[in-house]
Amino acid sequence: MALFTVPVVAGAVLVATVVWIVTRLRSADAAVPGPAFSLFSSLPLKFHEFCGNRTRYVHSLHLRYGSVVRLAPGEVAFASLPALKEIYMSNGSGYDKTAFYHLFRQYSTPTMFSTLDKQTHSKRRRILADRYANSNVVKAEALDGIRERASRFAAVAKTSQTLDIYIALHSYAFDGVTHHLFHPFGSNALQDEADERIMREVSFDNSLARRLLEYYYPSGLPGKVADLLGLLPPARSIPRAKQIVLDAVDATLLNASDEKTAGGPRAADFTLLARLQDPALGLTRMQMAAECMDHMAAGIETTGDVLCWLMWQISLPAFQGVQDRLFAELQANRDPSKYDSLPYLNAVLKEGLRMFPSIPMSLPRHVPEGGRVIDGTWLPGGTIVSCQPYTMHRFDQDVFPRPDEFEPDRWLDTTPEQDAEMNRRFFAFSNGGRGCLGKHLAMAEMKLLLRDVYMQFQTVLTDEAKAADMSMADQIISARPKDQTCKLKFIPRGKTEAA
């Protein structure tokens, strides 16, 4: 018993603390610039994560400490091109993802996105890649469905005159992605209230704090305590979204296998579901559903948020000239097949993605065993490293002068060298073998929507939109406008109105 006297316990604690401090001071990340507390504690970083403010916090650290910064013990962020190439592109798909991505399992089933290791991931990606190749996205049956939905959006705007674009654009993105995932079982949220409710389930999810607790404290105790104290919003609950995916999977599987229903509707050839149900792949019903669910969520929030921020930006009084130039370009190129070869439309969209990447925050990866030198900094295996699109698009002001200004012309009035430098740092869709698979689909959806809107309308902010907080609220990996509302007035071209 004498072994556990107060002085002995206090002495042991003191020795352990000294050993821990010395270990931290001698660790590799001690040599990395960053706030002193980040060498000993991850609490400040977590605090910002729980407040939905991680992206801006990390960016502020880069502005203060430079292109490499220690965020927490064993976690380092980079904002340079050599680091981006090493972390995300070395050997094709860069370093393995961290366990953070387990948060993205669907129906408790792993998906391509939530897979951590390269080998398993690349097997799945090889199977799915052709669905999202540009040649598949622009097939008549695939693209016509997106075109139809863009016209539907413009028709709704014409009738309503004032539209909450946060809702309408997320409905559009939902309809567009489900068309590509499982036509003819896609949604019609732009016109059908029941489908709009499904979109709302996904887009208005408020489970950030709960999911972060799940990641950091898998034992569940802090989550349970916070719940008992009533500190947490409800858990992520998306029953309708889960059901629409399962219904599509089941219908297409049944119609493929049951003689009585054979001849009934099945997923169209260009869709993701048509690929997944190929018996040669041997995927289970839940594996198919999980993959579709993941792409559906990826397609709703990202595309909807970028379009919302971009249309808000060019509806501000100072940016009406951007709309005039878009209108002139679109009028001169009315042939719908030209949507992808319009320089000004392309520059406006690219600048929107640069300023408002809807996945703006760190994409975490593990340094491989044995350690690596990243842009001149050696870090041991297991260190969490990342770059974030928000900072890659702003940090190097020789490449992106006036980084917080919306200037589409930076993509046009430029030298080939400067253009190449900007493109190398363009990280909205990430890069390498784990970069965005849906990029071509997303670009087609966004260009077709902007084409249909700005060929017909001038958009201006309503008083409600002027009052709305459009600042970035981080979610688990994406971000959205804080107030989740943005009411715009759609004025048919020809009728003028002072902005």
Residues of this chain that interact with ligand HEM (CB under 6 A) are 112-113, 125, 177, 295, 298-299, 302-303, 306, 357-359, 363, 428-430, 434-438, 441-442, 477
Structure tokens at 32: 């990395």
Q: Which is nearer to ligand HEM, 56 or 434 (CB)?
A: 434
- Tell me the CB-side half-sphere exposure of residue 19, using CA atoms within 13 A: 6
Strand partners, 473: 480
Cα separation of 45 and 58, whole Å?
8
β-bridge mates for residue 487, sequence order: 164
Contact residues for 148 (Cβ-Cβ < 8 A; gap 6+)? none
CA distance 448 to 238: 29
Q: Give whichever of 35 and 435 is closer to ligand HEM, judged by the CB atom.
A: 435
Report which residue's Cβ sits closest to ligand HEM.
438
Nearest distance from residue 390's CB to ligand HEM, in Å? 11
- Dihedral class, residue 34 (left if φ above 0, else alpha if ψ from -120 to 50, else beta): left
Q: Which is nearer to ligand HEM, 454 or 458 (CB)?
A: 454
Residue 155 CB burial class (10 angstroms; 0-12, 13-18, ≥19) = middle
Whichever of 241 and 428 has its CB closer to ligand HEM, that residue is 428
Does residue 68 contact residue 375 with C-beta atoms inside 8 Å? yes
Rounded Cα distance between 131 and 112, Å, is: 14
- Closest CB 337 distance from ligand HEM, rounded Å: 21
Nearer residue to ligand HEM within complex by CB, 125 or 410: 125
Task: Report, in Å, the least distance between residue 291 CB and ligand HEM.
Answer: 8
User: How many Å apart are CA 407 and CA 405, to the nearest integer?
Assistant: 6
Helices (H), 316-415: 320-332, 343-355, 389-392
* Beta carbon nearer to ligand HEM, 103 or 209: 103
In the complex with ligand HEM, the residue whose CB is nearer, 295 or 394, is: 295
| Smallest separation (angstroms) from ligand HEM to the CB of 30 | 28
CB of 430 to ligand HEM, least distance (A): 4
8, amino acid identity = V
Tell me how far, at minimum, the Cβ of 190 lies from ligand HEM, in Å.
17
Answer whether 383's CB lies under 8 Å from 362's CB.
no
Least distance to ligand HEM, CB of residue 16, Å: 37
Q: What radius of gyration do the chain's Cα atoms show?
A: 24
Minimum Å gap between C-beta 439 and ligand HEM is 7
Q: Is the peptide bond before 184 cis (omega within 30 degrees of 0)?
A: yes
Rounded to a whole number of angstroms, the distance between the first and last alpha carbons of the chain is 81
Pairing assessment for the beta strands 75-78 and 384-387 based on DSSP bridges: parallel
384 to each of 83, 97, 381, 435, how far by Cα in Å? 13, 9, 9, 18
112 or 212, CB closer to ligand HEM?
112
Nearer to ligand HEM, 303 or 458 (CB): 303
Only one residue has tokens 């970069």, namely 435
Query: Smaller CB distance to ligand HEM: residue 56 or 354?
Result: 354
State the nearest-atom distance from the C-beta of 177 to ligand HEM, in Å. Answer: 5
Task: Report in angstroms how near the CB of residue 139 gets to ligand HEM at its nearest.
Answer: 15
Least CB distance to ligand HEM at residue 170 (A)? 12
Q: Which CB sits closer to ligand HEM, 74 or 438?
A: 438
- Side-chain half-sphere of 80: how many Cα atoms within 13 Å? 12
> Which of 232, 207, 234, 233 is CA-nearest to residue 222?
232
Which amino acid, residue 38? S
